[in-house]
Structure 1
Amino acid sequence: MPGKKNSSLKDPKLYEELRDDGASKEKAARISNAAAAKGRKEVGSKGGKSGDYDNWTVDKLKSRAKELGLKGYSAKKKSELISMLRNH
């Protein structure tokens, strides 16, 4: 994204840091916009209510992927599903 302006990003610097760390474009944009709207401290302390994906069944992981509108999850192994969900 260097050299390009994206007016929908509220915190471009955080977006770039997240992308450099390997986050997807969607995830980096979602986190950077939430941090700009609510503050980084609040966004950083959010989460932890759904449990660890490692403890979920494959069926629950596939249901979650479907809820999120992800594609190509039906033939994935458990570890691949977990990675897909964590990095969407």
Structure 2
Amino acid sequence: MPGKKHGPGIKNPDAYEEIRKGGASKEKAARISNAMASEGSSKVGRRGGKAEPYEEWTVDELRKRAGELDIDGRSSMRKGELIDALRNH
């Protein structure tokens, strides 16, 4: 597959690419696309969407999440930089 932007563990590559185009991180896109392949997209879609968009999070909340994902340089990042780092880690 030319232009492949994912690893061999992706079970639903088309869904993965669409989710990534929507701004999701690689980890999140892989998790969602693999769940869609295993459980079906309608089941996964019904349970999603509970978190607020990053733009509505506080800087402290964003830094905490960045820490959970071990993103380097998070302590000196501004809100926009944190959001970008979280979406593209």
Query: Quick check: 1:47 aligned with 2:40?
Result: no
Summarize the Cα distance change of 1:53–1:23 in structure 2 as closer, same or farther, 3 Å threshold: closer
Tell me how far 1:35 sits from its aligned partner.
1.1
Higher relative contact order (CA 8 A, sep 6+): 2
Tell me how far 1:65 sits from its aligned partner.
0.9
Aligned-partner residue type, residue 57 of structure 1: T
Summarize the Cα distance change of 1:53–1:35 in structure 2 as closer, same or farther, 3 Å threshold: same
TM-score by length of structure 1 reads 0.67
Summarize the Cα distance change of 1:16–1:64 in structure 2 as closer, same or farther, 3 Å threshold: closer
CA distance in 1, matches of 2:82, 2:3: 34
Tell me how far 1:40 sits from its aligned partner.
1.2
> What RMSD over aligned residues (CA atoms) do the two structures have, in Å?
2.8
Q: Name the counterpart of 1:82.
A: 83
- Quote the sequence identity (%): 56
Query: Quick check: 1:2 aligned with 2:2?
Result: yes
CA distance in 2, matches of 1:68, 1:18: 19
| Runs of 4+ with deviation above 6 angstroms | none
CA distance in 2, matches of 1:62, 1:52: 15
Tell me how far 1:51 sits from its aligned partner.
2.9
Query: Quick check: 1:64 aligned with 2:72?
Result: no
Q: Name the counterpart of 2:29.
A: 28
**Number of residue-to-residue matches in the alignment:** 86
Query: Quick check: 1:16 aligned with 2:17?
Result: yes
CA distance in 1, matches of 2:13, 2:28: 13
TM-score by length of structure 2 reads 0.66
